C-alpha cells in the first residue's frame, strides 16, 4: 500500500503562535499510527475544547472587534468550560466582515501571506487573510488518511478557480504538501486553459484524480465526446472530488457512471476552509473535526439545535492565526448526526440542505433544490443541465434530453408525472436544447 507522504515539512522562521501547542497532539497521534478520524469522540471533543479556548484567547488578545463582542456578552476572560458553552459566544455575521479587511484580522498585516476573497455574488466581497504558517503548517497538521487515499502515485487535475477564492490554491497545497501528488493546475475557464486542452493534458499525464464542481465535471464529460477522448479509458480516473456547488446524490451517481470512477463531495468555503468530506459510504459528510467545530443553529432564534434538527451551519475554525472564524454563520443549511458510519470514522456526520436563499417554497413547504434535483435525476432520459424557475408559487422545470429517443412531449409528460408522484406537486415542464453551459458556478435556481 502506498502512503501519503506528508513529506513537506515547512518551517517558518522564529514563529510563535497559539497553535504551536497542537503540533504535539498531532505528533502523538502519528507516533501511535492513528488519525483524529478514528478517535473515540470524547477525545476529539477534548481536543476541540482546547482548540476553541486557544482560539478565543488569541482573538481576545489580538483583535478589538472580537474582544468587545465577547465582553458585551459578559465574558471577563476568553474561556469556556465545555463545548456546549460555545453557545454563549457571539456569532459572526457575514455583513459585519463584508468589505472590511481588518475587522477580524488577528495578526500584523505584514504577516499576511495570502489573501482570498469570496466571489461576491451579492455585494462587497469577504476578505480572508492567511499567514504562511496557517497555510503550510497548521492547516496540514490533521491527517485524514481514511478519507483521502491519494498518494505520490497519483496525478491530480484541479479544475477549480485559482483566482480570488480559495478552492484552486487550497487543493493545490493539499495535494502537493500533504499527499505528495503531482498536480495539473487546469483552473476553470481561464483563457490559458480551454476545455479541450484541459482534457488533453489529463490524458497526456494520465490523471487519476479530478477535483472540480459538479457542473464542470458534467461539462468535461460532455466535451470529451466532442474531442474524441474516451473518459474512463484515455483518462483513467480513480476518483473525483466535487466541491463549490452542492448537488444531489443522484447527480453524483450519474457522474460516477459517466466517468467510471468514485465521486465524492468535499464541503468547504473560502472563509472557513474545509468543513466536511464524504467517505466511501456516501451517507453525508464527516465533519473535519481537526479543523473546525460545527454547530447547527436556528437561523431566527439563533438557538443551538440538537443532533438531527436542520438549521444554519455555524463554523468555528480551530487552526487559524491570521483570521480565525469564531461561530461564523455560513448561510448553508444542514443537520448533524453522531457518526454511526460503517467506515469506522468517528467524526460527526453533516447532511447538507443547500443555501438558505435557494430554498423553493412550494405550497406550504420549503424544498431544497437538491431534493428536486434528486427526483429529476432519477429519470435517466433527463440530462445534467436544468433550471428550476419559481414564479408565483408555480415551479417550472427546464430540462434537456439525455441519450433518448423520447420526443420532447413524451419526456415532458414523463417528468411531470414523476415529479407529481415524488413531491405531490404539479409543475410545468419545458424541454430545451440550449441550456447554457458555464465555466462559473452553475445557476440552476431562479427564485
State yes or no: residue 145 binds Zn ion (CB under 5 A): no
- Give least dist CB 345 to Zn ion, A: 5
In Å, how far are 171, 239, 433 from 145, measured between CA atoms? 16, 15, 43
Q: Are 237 and 210 in contact (CB under 8 A)?
A: yes
DSSP-assigned letters across all residues of 27-90: HHHHHTT--GGGS-HHHHHHHHHHHHHHHHHHHHHH-HHHHHHHHHTT-SSS--SSGGGGGGSP
Q: Which residue lies nearer to Zn ion by CB, 279 or 384?
A: 279
State yes or no: residue 257 binds Zn ion (CB under 5 A): no
Per-residue binder mask for Zn ion (CB under 5 A), 269-298, x = binder: ----------x-x-----------------
- Give least dist CB 289 to Zn ion, A: 13
What residues have CB less than 8 Å from 61, skipping those under 6 apart?
Answer: 67, 78
Q: Which residue lies nearer to Zn ion by CB, 284 or 311?
A: 284
Cell numbers found for residue 158 = 484541479
Count of residues that interact with Zn ion, criterion CB under 5 A: 5
State yes or no: residue 341 binds Zn ion (CB under 5 A): yes
Q: Are 397 and 386 in contact (CB under 8 A)?
A: yes
Query: Which one of the spans 19-27, 169-177, 339-347, 386-394 is the region binding Zn ion (CB under 5 A)?
Result: 339-347
SS3 content of the chain, % helix, strand, coil (to 5): 30, 25, 45
Q: Which residue lies nearer to Zn ion by CB, 15 or 43?
A: 43
State yes or no: residue 345 binds Zn ion (CB under 5 A): yes
- Give least dist CB 356 to Zn ion, A: 26
Q: Are strands 262-269 and 239-242 parallel, antiparallel or unpaired?
A: parallel
State yes or no: residue 197 binds Zn ion (CB under 5 A): no
- Give least dist CB 166 to Zn ion, A: 24
- Give least dist CB 148 to Zn ion, A: 13
The dihedral through the CA atoms of 13, 16, 17, 21 has a sign that is positive
- Give least dist CB 37 to Zn ion, A: 9
The dihedral through the CA atoms of 225, 226, 227, 228 has a sign that is positive
Q: Are 199 and 220 in contact (CB under 8 A)?
A: yes
State yes or no: residue 309 binds Zn ion (CB under 5 A): no
Q: Which residue lies nearer to Zn ion by CB, 23 or 338?
A: 338
Query: Which one of the spans 102-110, 308-316, 335-343, 387-395 is the region binding Zn ion (CB under 5 A)?
Result: 335-343
Q: Are strands 311-317 and 127-131 parallel, antiparallel or unpaired?
A: unpaired
Q: Which residue lies nearer to Zn ion by CB, 215 or 243?
A: 243
- Give least dist CB 338 to Zn ion, A: 12
CA distance 6 to 26: 13
State yes or no: residue 38 binds Zn ion (CB under 5 A): no
Query: Which one of the spans 325-333, 334-342, 351-359, 434-442 is the region binding Zn ion (CB under 5 A)?
Result: 334-342
State yes or no: residue 347 binds Zn ion (CB under 5 A): no
State yes or no: residue 315 binds Zn ion (CB under 5 A): no
State yes or no: residue 343 binds Zn ion (CB under 5 A): yes
Nearest one of 261, 340, 342 to 308, comparing CA atoms: 340
Binding footprint of Zn ion on the chain (CB under 5 A): 279, 281, 341, 343, 345
Amino acid at each position: 500500500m502506498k502512503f501519503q507522504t506528508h513529506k513537506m515539512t515547512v518551517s517558518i522562521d522564529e514563529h510563535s503562535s497559539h497553535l504551536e501547542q497542537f503540533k504535539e497532539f498531532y505528533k502523538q497521534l502519528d507516533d501511535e499510527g492513528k488519525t483524529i478520524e478514528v478517535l473515540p469522540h470524547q477525545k476529539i471533543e477534548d481536543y476541540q475544547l482546547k482548540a476553541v479556548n486557544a482560539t478565543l484567547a488569541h482573538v481576545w488578545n489580538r483583535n478589538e472587534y472580537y474582544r468587545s463582542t465577547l465582553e458585551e456578552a459578559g465574558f471577563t476572560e476568553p474561556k469556556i468550560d465545555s463545548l456546549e458553552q460555545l453557545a454563549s459566544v457571539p456569532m459572526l455575521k457575514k455583513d459585519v466582515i463584508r468589505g472590511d479587511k481588518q475587522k477580524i484580522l488577528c495578526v500584523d498585516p505584514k504577516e499576511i501571506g495570502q489573501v482570498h476573497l469570496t466571489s461576491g455574488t451579492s455585494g462587497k466581497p469577504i476578505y480572508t487573510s492567511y499567514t504562511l504558517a496557517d497555510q503550510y503548517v497548521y492547516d496540514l497538521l490533521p491527517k485524514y488518511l481514511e478519507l483521502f487515499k491519494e498518494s505520490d502515485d497519483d496525478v491530480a487535475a484541479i479544475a477549480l478557480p485559482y483566482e480570488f477564492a480559495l478552492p484552486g490554491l487550497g487543493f493545490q497545497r493539499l495535494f502537493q504538501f500533504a499527499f505528495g501528488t503531482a498536480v495539473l493546475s487546469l483552473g476553470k475557464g481561464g483563457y490559458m486553459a480551454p476545455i479541450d486542452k484541459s482534457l488533453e493534458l489529463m490524458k497526456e499525464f494520465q490523471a487519476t484524480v479530478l477535483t472540480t464542481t459538479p457542473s464542470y465535471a458534467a461539462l468535461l464529460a460532455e466535451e470529451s465526446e466532442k474531442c474524441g477522448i474516451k473518459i474512463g479509458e484515455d483518462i483513467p480516473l480513480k476518483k473525483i472530488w466535487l466541491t463549490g456547488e452542492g448537488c444531489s446524490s443522484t447527480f453524483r451517481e450519474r457522474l460516477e457512471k459517466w466517468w467510471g470512477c468514485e465521486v465524492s463531495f468535499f464541503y468547504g468555503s473560502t472563509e472557513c476552509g474545509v468543513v466536511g468530506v464524504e467517505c466511501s459510504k456516501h451517507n453525508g459528510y464527516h465533519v473535519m473535526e481537526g479543523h473546525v467545530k460545527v454547530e447547527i443553529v436556528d437561523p431566527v432564534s439563533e438557538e443551538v439545535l440538537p443532533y438531527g434538527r436542520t438549521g444554519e451551519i455555524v463554523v468555528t475554525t480551530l487552526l487559524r492565526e491570521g483570521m480565525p472564524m469564531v461561530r461564523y454563520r455560513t448561510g448553508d443549511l444542514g443537520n448533524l448526526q453522531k457518526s454511526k458510519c460503517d467506515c469506522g470514522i468517528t467524526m460527526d456526520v453533516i447532511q447538507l440542505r443547500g443555501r438558505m436563499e435557494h430554498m423553493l417554497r412550494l405550497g406550504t413547504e420549503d424544498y431544497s433544490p437538491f431534493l428536486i434535483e434528486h427526483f429529476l435525476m432519477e429519470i435517466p432520459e433527463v440530462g445534467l443541465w436544468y433550471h428550476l424557475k419559481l414564479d408565483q408559487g408555480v415551479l417550472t422545470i427546464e430540462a434537456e434530453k439525455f441519450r433518448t429517443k423520447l420526443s420532447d412531449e413524451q419526456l415532458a409528460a414523463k417528468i411531470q408525472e414523476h415529479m407529481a408522484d415524488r413531491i405531490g406537486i404539479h409543475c410545468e415542464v419545458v424541454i430545451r436544447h440550449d441550456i447554457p453551459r458555464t465555466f462559473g458556478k452553475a445557476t440552476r435556481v431562479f427564485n
